[in-house]
Amino acid sequence: MELRHIRYFLAVVETGSTVKAAERELVAQPSLSRQLRRLESELGIDLFVRDSGRLHLSAAGERFLPIARDLITRAHHAQTTLRALAAGRPPRLTVAAPPTTIADVIAPFIATTTAADPFITVREELPATSYAALQRGADLAISPAPPPLYLAWHALARLPIWAYVPPHHPFHGRTHITVPELVTQPLLLLTPDHGTRRRFDHAVLDAGQGCDIAFETRVPQIAQALAAAGHGIAVVSDDPRYGLQALAVHTPHGDLAIDLFAAWDPTHYAADTLDSLARDLSAYCIATYGPAVTPTVTPAV
């Protein structure tokens, strides 16, 4: 199976015809059609349904489409990386992570690197989709969710989950708060697709409590901004803003926190570089937040 055959397949999908695909790929249309049939023969499937001279993706073609895009993306990244290395330039790597992690962990870490280190770009993803981003071109994924078994990974940090209060709040001046105390207050929480929220919900259930949710948001900075405006207590893991005071959330099992993991495909062409990058990130997080904790739960499959 040749990459050019996969490019021809994608060109047909994206342009809607072999004629337009051939024009885009600068190849004769009969030749492109032959290469498509050869690809189908090698795969042992019909990628298209041919109806009155028009091509429509078959069910097998629909399933092959994301694989084809991933293969081309990986090939492009590999070529870019190898060319950079041959020219003495560091590789360019994309890290997929939640916005808070990018702002509070990745960006400060990048600021400690040099021009001789890998060139790191970022892609914002919700925690629930960070690992899936590896199938869409990201090189390294960071998430509070335990990594799937098929990925290589490092534990990065245990990040505290804070209860943020403004200066005029009755709890201001304290260093911590318990879950039973916290749930008596109007709470500004992240939506349930955030690991921080799920960890907090589990702590509330463990305490046998309910809670007063004043507002839910996907943006931690908005939760803090609303807390600064006096609308409640923000429960988030990002760094303090807007003059708020951070209170540790005590539970019978220790202060409330969320673990952070970095994962990558062990077959990635730059797997050694990603392993080194993850270790450097881990060292940075340990220096900033303290030791990471190896998960005691079974990784996701």
CATH of residue 265 = 3.40.190.10
Do residues 152 and 264 share a domain?
yes
Asked, for residue 111, whether it belongs to a domain, the answer is yes
Do residues 99 and 228 share a domain?
no
Q: Closest by alpha carbon to 161, among 258, 78, 66, 75?
A: 258
Confidence of residue 291 (pLDDT cuts 50, 70, 90): low
Asked, for residue 212, whether it belongs to a domain, the answer is yes
Do residues 154 and 262 share a domain?
yes
Do residues 71 and 111 share a domain?
no
Range of the domain at 79: 3-83
Asked, for residue 186, whether it belongs to a domain, the answer is yes
Number of compact structural domains in the chain: 3
Phi, psi of 294 (to 5 degrees): -65, 130
For 298, residues 6+ apart whose C-beta sits below 8 A from its C-beta are 146
Asked, for residue 21, whether it belongs to a domain, the answer is yes
For residue 83, how many C-alpha atoms fall within 13 Å in the half-sphere facing its CB? Answer: 7
Question: What is the pTM for the complete model shown?
Answer: 0.62
Confidence of residue 299 (pLDDT cuts 50, 70, 90): very low
Do residues 186 and 233 share a domain?
yes
Confidence of residue 263 (pLDDT cuts 50, 70, 90): very high
Asked, for residue 244, whether it belongs to a domain, the answer is yes
Higher pLDDT pick, 181 / 211: 181
